[in-house]
Amino acid sequence: MNKILVELGNRTYPIYIGSNLLSNPELYTQHIKSKQVVVISNETIAPLYLETVIKQLSSFQVESVILPDGEQYKTLEYVTRIFDELLANKFSRNSTLIALGGGVIGDMGGFAAACYQRGINFIQIPTTLLAQVDSSVGGKTGVNHPLGKNMIGAFYQPQCVIADADVLDTLDDRQLAAGLAEVIKYGLIRDLDFFVWLENNISALLARDKNALSYAIEKSCLNKAEIVSEDETETGVRATLNLGHTFGHAIETGSGYGVYLHGEAVAIGTCQAADLSRRKGWLTTEDVERIIKLFEQCNLPTTPPKDLDSERFIDLMSVDKKNIDGQIRVILLKQIGVATLPIGVDKASLRETLDTYGR
Ligand code: NAD
Ligand code: GLY
């Protein structure tokens, strides 16, 4: 097992990465501070892994809340169901919430933990590649609003993250690829060597080679832990993790939550950001082609949906947490391995990319 620390002073916490971690009770129990534990999961993941998790918690009072599966349920309404269950079972302020699932369950569970009685103990057990390399680390929690993705939320750090690579065996290929989009992001924004490693090892990753997957998870978590330690609440460098996300969130909201997977929308958005970076004179045409090729090798989409026109794109991109005084701000690439901080883009150059790239 490997252990990476997210250094946040007295809120520093470990990310455990390895095999067979779900059935290691010590990993959980050392981070639980009282008798009451609630496990949040969904209808797909619970039949696969809930029993194993609950077995490790035999000395606790354990309840579970099983939510429907899908991005469209990442709403305040379904977080309220978690509160209902906690209150009905008289859970107190020192109880622990475990989020067992992908990014949707992690974000919702974390938000419920942040809000219930103003904050209870929280453990992340991410079960998708995307959640293991990104969403479970760093304390961003929240839900979607019909008018904007992840618009309601809180920063709330877990006590630990338990990333068991074995659970990826049951993940389908489309979800694995979506996770790879966020893995590629780390190479693009700050780690050229990792990007080159990904280019050379993409077949092994797609074939689910355990060593390659573990390396990619560790490298991603190391990058994310460093960024979060430096800028927990996104006043600076953390925003670079949003490469492709302003475009991507517009695609997710505009197409209806759940049509594109988050990682798929990020892959498209990253290609659009690369195109805009080329127009700025930073990336070369060869750089952009290299980026598109890597996403294509993962069978990820690289062009925007035809029915989302530029006007609608701009409208949707205007609802983004990075924007200031109504100006759209995006992360671009100075070169592969070097991202900009959020920069305001004038609508004319943005339109050029939206009107022409992939159209
Ligand atoms: P997801 O949570 O919807 O999971 C994808 C699918 O895989 C679901 O159908 C789920 O039930 C299923 N699944 C999960 N684990 C499985 C397993 N081991 N075996 C079989 N099936 C399994 O999607 P995701 O890609 O994990 O997460 C996307 C969400 O994460 C989005 O809402 C996005 O906004 C959010 N996100 C948050 C952050 C953050 O920093 N908090 C970062 C990136 C993404
Ligand atoms: N996934 C973006 C962040 O954690 O900041």
* DSSP category for residue 342: P
- State the total domains in the chain: 2
* C-alpha Rg value of the chain to the nearest Å: 20
31 assigned to active site: no
Domain finish residue from 144, 170, 196: 170
Whether the model clears a pTM of 0.75, i.e. scores above it, the answer is: yes
Q: Can you tell me the distance from the alpha carbon of 106 to that of 108, in angstroms, rounded to the nearest whole number? A: 6
Task: Judge contact between 129 and 179, C-beta under 8 A.
Answer: yes
Q: Which of 149, 219, 238, 329 is catalytic?
A: 238
H helices, E strands: number in the chain:
13, 13
Q: Which of 182, 218, 252, 264 is catalytic?
A: 182
218 assigned to active site: no
- The string of DSSP letters for 314-328 reads HHHHTS-TT-BTTB-
Query: Could you read off the pLDDT tens digit of each residue along the chain, which spans 359 residues?
Result: 999 999 999 999 999 999 999 999 999 999 999 999 999 999 999 999 999 999 999 999 999 999 999 999 999 999 999 999 999 999 999 999 999 999 999 999 999 999 999 999 999 999 999 999 999 999 999 999 998 899 999 999 999 999 999 999 999 999 999 999 999 999 999 999 999 999 999 999 999 999 999 999 999 999 999 999 999 999 999 999 999 999 999 999 999 999 999 999 999 999 999 999 999 999 999 999 999 999 999 999 999 999 999 999 999 999 888 888 888 999 999 999 999 999 999 888 899 999 999 99
Same domain for 340 and 241, yes or no, is yes
Tokens 């009282």, residue located: 34
Same domain for 157 and 190, yes or no, is no
Same domain for 214 and 348, yes or no, is yes
Q: Is 139 in the pocket of ligand 1 (CB under 6 A)?
A: no
How many CA atoms within 13 Å lie on the side-chain side of 116?
Answer: 28
35 CA from centroid of ligand 2 (Å): 32
306 assigned to active site: no
219 assigned to active site: no
Domain finish residue from 141, 170, 199: 170
Same domain for 64 and 125, yes or no, is yes
Same domain for 110 and 89, yes or no, is yes
Ligand 2 surroundings by CB, under 6 angstroms: 134, 138, 140, 238, 241
140 assigned to active site: yes
Q: What is the residue range of 159's domain?
A: 2-170
DSSP run (H or E) holding 193:
helix 192-206
Same domain for 12 and 116, yes or no, is yes
Ligand nearest to the CA of 228: 2
Mutation test of ligand 1: which of 175, 185, 213, 245 has the most ligand atoms closer than 8 Å to its C-beta?
175
Domain finish residue from 147, 170, 193: 170
